Amino acid sequence: MEPTPTILAELDNYLKREALTITQFAERSGLHTGTLSNVMHGIRPIAMQQLDQITMAMGLAEGYFYDLYIDNYIIDRSPDWRRVGPLLHRCAELNKLDAVQRVLLHIMDKLMYLPLLFDTAEELFAQGRSAAAILLYESVAEGEKSQHSERLALCRYRLFTLGLSDDQDTNLLAATHFEPFLERLDEAYQLDALNELINVNASLQRWSKVEQLAEKMEHKATIQYEQGSKRERAPGELKKPLIFYILYAYLARANAWRECGDYMKGLYYVSLYADASWVKKPSEEEERVIKQFSEWAEANRYMYHLMAGQVEVLVDYVNYIAARENEIFPGLCKIILAANKYHINIDSILERFESYLSFKEEQSQIGKISQQVTAERYTRVLAELAVYYLNAKKFNRGLCLVLESLESSIRINCDSAILRCIGLFEQFRPFASDQALERYKILIREVQTLNEKKIGFSTRYM
Amino acid sequence: MKRKLVFLLATCSIVGAIAAPFVPGVSYSIKEPAAIISPMDHGIGS
């Protein structure tokens, strides 16, 4: 039976091979000779920084010995946070997620490490090391005894935000898993959590859920505002000014009511976020928020009238969005929809704003727009643009856009969007070029693969 | 084989529901989708 390899044995072999003394290697590695000697004689364990110095001096890749370090100093001995903590940080830095997982599996029996693991997860989260942070949050959540602990709720919140992607199925799952923990979150996080839940549900077109969450956010933010909660944010608190959450709740509720067909109620909520005169002595940041919501109110009023068939507002709407670059793409989406619904010729508008009809991150005066919302909006605008050109008998261009929309629908894993594209393509198949048919065949295979994954079968027959 | 048939059946149902026969000289327009998808308001996603 072969002896278990150790780092010290590897180092010893190296020194013999290179004919180096401890003193010479200490000089090469930047370690103190006495320290290195103690380490090599097993008098003291190797610290992470020392291991990194030794590894570099041996000419090996960063993290080369980490798996062995886990065996020698974490698993074979009683784990000490003075070694575990720095090891987790370094593994995260080098993206050695398997190593992180190995460490976690070993130390999770010791629940006293839970607070330390949580703190480390928060540090990694702040550094943007999401993959490693997710592993730690999952471990903490699993080990948490009390279902109602704030730490568990915060873990669930972090896992929710880190789990969001372009995939709508994944996002729905993430939102559904997190929502029961919302009320257990510390108040400082609840408004941002509600904001993010509203955006995810809006991207999924779940408007009754949006209305429910927005009502909750309005209620909580209003109470905090009326209680005179600090409007100036301290680091680590709300991401936006308090008044944003109140105004955004109105905006979300307006959209939700409009979706339910109640335009009057929708316009009522528009009037609420159009006028923020109740904000006393607004700061510079609050002024920016108020101005942005006021502009959105004006744009949305045009849009509501347009979607209700009052086509005469189109010119004013176009002029309005033309003066506000951030609103051109969302505005075009609505104009194309209205054009299809009311058979309006918008060729000149499309030509004027052609460069804006591409997928890019959306911004407002107060921050980024949710990536999930943008992805859904882009997928839909492609399909609507396709319908516009197909109705105008520009079949080649229309079918090309159908295929682009299908590709985007597959990327965001939206079944209804996929079916719509398939339906459109099949309806106009006789007009499709050979190239389009070939591309369609490839995309349908991807749809089949996606479907098979969902229902859990293999795709061997393909 | 069974899975392939189920998938083909589903696709054919969709095609059958919306595809119209190609007839030269007849004008062609898209059927209204079953549910009108409304756009999201300006500002949604902030």
Q: Write the CATH number of the domain with boundaries A186-308.
A: 1.25.40
B:1-46 residues touching chain A, CB 8 A cutoff: 1, 3-4, 7, 11, 14-15, 17-20, 22, 28-31, 33, 36-46
Spatial separation of the C-alpha atoms in residues A267 and A257, rounded to whole Å: 9
Angle at A271 between CA A265 and CA A275, to 5 degrees: 155
**Measured between beta carbons, which residues in chain B are less than 8 angstroms from residue A420?**
33
Q: Is A257 helix (H, G, I), strand (E, B) or coil?
A: helix
**Measured between beta carbons, which residues in chain B are less than 8 angstroms from residue A426?**
14-15, 18-19
The model's pLDDT over A306-330, given as tens digits with 9 standing for 90+, comes to 988 899 999 999 999 999 999 999 9
pLDDT at site A1: 57
Tell me the shortest Cα–Cα distance from A367 to chain B, in angstroms. Answer: 7
Quick check: A426 and B15 CB within 8 A? Answer: yes
Spatial separation of the C-alpha atoms in residues A413 and A423, rounded to whole Å: 17
- Which residue of chain B has the CA closest to A376? B40
Q: Buried b vs exposed e over A351-367: b needs ≥16 C-beta within 10 Å?
A: eebeeebebeebebebe
> Is residue A438 over pLDDT 70?
yes
Q: Is A342 on the interface with B (CB under 8 A)?
A: no
With cut-offs at 50, 70 and 90, classify the pLDDT of residue B24.
very low
**Measured between beta carbons, which residues in chain A are less than 8 angstroms from residue B29?**
391
The model's pLDDT over A45-90, given as tens digits with 9 standing for 90+, comes to 999 999 999 999 999 999 999 999 999 999 988 889 999 999 999 9
In the DSSP assignment, the letter for residue A270 is H
Task: Tokens for A58, please give them.
Answer: 């041996």
pTM above 0.80, yes or no: yes
Region B18-39: mean pLDDT is: 48
- Tell me the DSSP string of A361-414: --EETTEEPPHHHHHHHHHHHHHHHHHHHHHTT-HHHHHHHHHHHHHHHHHHT-
> Is residue A274 over pLDDT 90?
yes
Of A202, A293, A448, nearest to B40 by CB-CB distance is A202
Say how many Å lie between the first and final Cα of chain A, rounded.
47
- Tell me the DSSP string of A211-248: HHHHHHHHHHHHHHHHTT--SSPPTTS-SS-HHHHHHH
**Measured between beta carbons, which residues in chain A are less than 8 angstroms from residue B31?**
427
Return the sign of the alpha-carbon dihedral for residues A298, A303, A304, A310. Answer: positive
pLDDT at site A289: 96
Least confident stretch, A368-372, A420-424, B5-9, B11-15: B11-15
Q: Is A292 helix (H, G, I), strand (E, B) or coil?
A: helix
> Is residue B31 over pLDDT 70?
no
Q: Are A374 and A358 in contact (CB under 8 A)?
A: no
> Is residue B25 over pLDDT 70?
no
Q: Is A423 on the interface with B (CB under 8 A)?
A: yes
Quick check: B46 and A369 CB within 8 A? Answer: yes
Tell me the shortest Cα–Cα distance from B22 to chain A, in angstroms. Answer: 7
Region A281-290: mean pLDDT is: 94
pLDDT at site B32: 46
